[in-house]
């Protein structure tokens, strides 16, 4: 099969303790006419021979210590920003040989034809797919839909192509390890940057045994903000539900009980979200005004829905409260994350030293 290379294509590969598939993969990319930027993310002396036998012309960047996939990608992206021209197309690929070079070239052609678009090489997950990969992708797909309204089939793909014009934003996105790639999707979706998918082959070698993804630790990093928000919302709901029950017992008024409970719980929830969940450093007055405006709007519609469920549909007052809170939880998360406690992007500079071997960049 003849592969047509897009002009000025750079393949960026982060590698941590790579296996035997790395060198043949690099040779194939070099044969396709790509420039290669390889980041050794603290693999150690035992893997030095692999990085010393890369194809001629490969730029090798070395972290003295392991920093994580996100930092390795950003180290490579910074190098590309500094040494390549404005017409460059970048494709990131994993070091384990589970991405075909022809698929990488396909999404590069799409990225070249669609500037300022992030192109994902998306797997169909047909055939023999490890259970943890299938489940992991299902969960992250749901998280993308809930938090950013993004519908992507393969959120965990490491095969991604884009023009060099997107590098400034990508370098500002937070995340040091596997959560970085998820953060890129969420950040682009919220900023309205197009994300496009191209189907690629689904390949898992030895049941994906070479993956350094820790199912517990790295999943927590990916979802920790959502988990913190859920914990904060649960605490706020506990306060809200307690006051709602108490006021309902004392007054017998559904609207009064709902409003009174929400005033108390909103104050608790704002404080938790600002300081614990989103760790917002912006002005308190602005975020407080925006938060309580949101709370007032949600309270209005919350009360309407609650009344509808109880008086029109005959739902129990306690059950109706649970249903209503769950529905508005999703809306509240999206608005707070996107608008109220939006983080100022910042570059996560790492003080660990980076060595480079980049011939004739």
- From first to last of its 361 residues, the chain has per-residue pLDDT tens of 334 344 589 999 999 999 888 999 999 999 999 999 999 999 999 999 999 999 999 999 999 999 999 999 999 999 999 999 888 999 999 998 888 999 999 999 999 999 899 999 988 755 555 555 556 666 666 766 666 677 788 888 889 999 999 999 999 988 888 788 888 888 888 788 999 999 988 765 544 444 544 555 555 556 665 666 567 777 877 888 898 899 989 998 888 888 888 788 888 878 877 776 666 666 677 778 888 888 888 888 888 888 898 888 888 888 888 888 778 877 776 677 667 776 554 444 444 567 777 765 6
Cα angle: 152, vertex 335, 221; to 5 degrees: 55
Q: What is the pLDDT of residue 209?
A: 46
Q: What is the pLDDT of residue 42?
A: 94
Query: Cα–chain-centroid distance for residue 37?
Result: 23
**8 A C-beta contact, residue 58 and residue 337:** no
Same domain, 199 and 144: yes
DSSP per residue over 131-157, as a string? HHHHHHHHHHHHHHHHHH----S-TT-
Domain count, the chain: 2
Q: What is the 3-state secondary structure (H, E, C) of 272-322?
A: HHHHHHCCCCCCHHHHHHHHHHHHHHHHHHHHHHHHHHHHHCCCCHHHHHH
Q: What is the pLDDT of residue 289?
A: 84
Same domain, 240 and 91: no
- Computed on alpha carbons and rounded to an integer, the radius of gyration of the chain in Å comes to 24
Q: What is the pLDDT of residue 235?
A: 82
Laid out side by side, the sheet with 354-357 consists of: 195-200, 118-123, 160-163, 89-92, 9-15, 35-41, 59-63, 354-357
**8 A C-beta contact, residue 58 and residue 26:** yes
Q: What is the pLDDT of residue 260?
A: 87
Same domain, 79 and 196: yes
Q: Measure CA of the first residue to CA of the last residue in the chain; give whole Å.
A: 29
What's the rounded Cα separation, in Å, for the pair 27 and 199?
24
Same domain, 168 and 259: no
Q: Directed axis angle between helix 217-251 and helix 254-272, to 10°?
A: 150
Same domain, 104 and 251: no
The CA-based dihedral angle spanning residues 200, 6, 20, 83, taken in that order and rounded to the nearest 10 degrees: -130
What's the rounded Cα separation, in Å, for the pair 203 and 205?
6
Q: What is the pLDDT of residue 208?
A: 45
Same domain, 200 and 267: no
Residue 344: which residues within 8 A CB-CB, separation 6 or more? 281, 282
Tell me, what CATH number does 160's domain have? 3.90.550.10
Same domain, 48 and 190: yes
Domain enclosing residue 294, as ranges = 226-340
Q: Give the global pTM.
A: 0.64
């Amino acid at each position: 099969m003849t592969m047509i290379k897009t002009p000025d294509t750079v393949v960026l590969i982060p590698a941590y303790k790579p296996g035997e598939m790395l060198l043949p993969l690099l040779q194939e990319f070099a044969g396709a006419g790509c420039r290669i930027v390889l980041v050794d993310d603290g693999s150690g002396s035992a893997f030095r021979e692999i990085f010393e036998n890369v194809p001629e012309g490969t730029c090798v960047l070395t972290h003295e210590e392991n920093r994580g996939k996100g930092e390795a990608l950003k180290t490579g992206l910074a190098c590309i920003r500094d040494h390549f021209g404005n017409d460059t197309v970048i494709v990131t690929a994993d070091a384990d040989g589970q991405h075909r070079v022809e698929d990488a070239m396909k999404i590069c052609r799409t990225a070249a034809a669609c500037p300022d678009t992030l192109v994902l090489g998306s797997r169909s997950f047909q055939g023999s797919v490890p259970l943890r990969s299938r489940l992991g992708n299902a969960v992250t797909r749901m998280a993308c839909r809930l938090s950013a309204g993004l519908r992507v089939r393969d959120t965990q793909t490491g095969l991604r192509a884009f023009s060099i014009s997107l590098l400034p934003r990508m370098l500002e996105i937070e995340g040091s390890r596997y959560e970085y790639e998820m953060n890129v999707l969420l950040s682009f979706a919220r900023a309205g940057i197009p994300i496009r998918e191209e189907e690629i082959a689904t390949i898992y070698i030895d049941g994906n045994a070479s993956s350094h993804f820790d199912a517990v630790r790295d999943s927590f990093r990916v979802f920790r903000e959502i988990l913190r928000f859920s914990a904060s919302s649960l605490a706020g709901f506990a306060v809200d539900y307690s006051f709602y029950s108490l006021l309902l017992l004392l007054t017998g008024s559904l609207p009064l009980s709902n409003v009174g409970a929400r005033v108390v719980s909103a104050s608790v929830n704002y404080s938790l979200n600002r300081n614990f969940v989103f760790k917002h450093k912006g002005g308190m007055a602005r975020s407080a005004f925006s938060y309580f405006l949101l709370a007032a709007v949600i309270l209005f519609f919350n009360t309407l829905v609650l009344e509808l469920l109880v008086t029109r549909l005959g739902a129990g007052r306690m059950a109706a409260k649970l249903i209503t809170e769950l529905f508005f939880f999703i809306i509240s998360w999206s608005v707070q994350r996107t608008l109220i406690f939006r983080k100022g992007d910042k570059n996560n500079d790492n003080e660990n030293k980076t060595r480079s071997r980049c011939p004739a960049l």
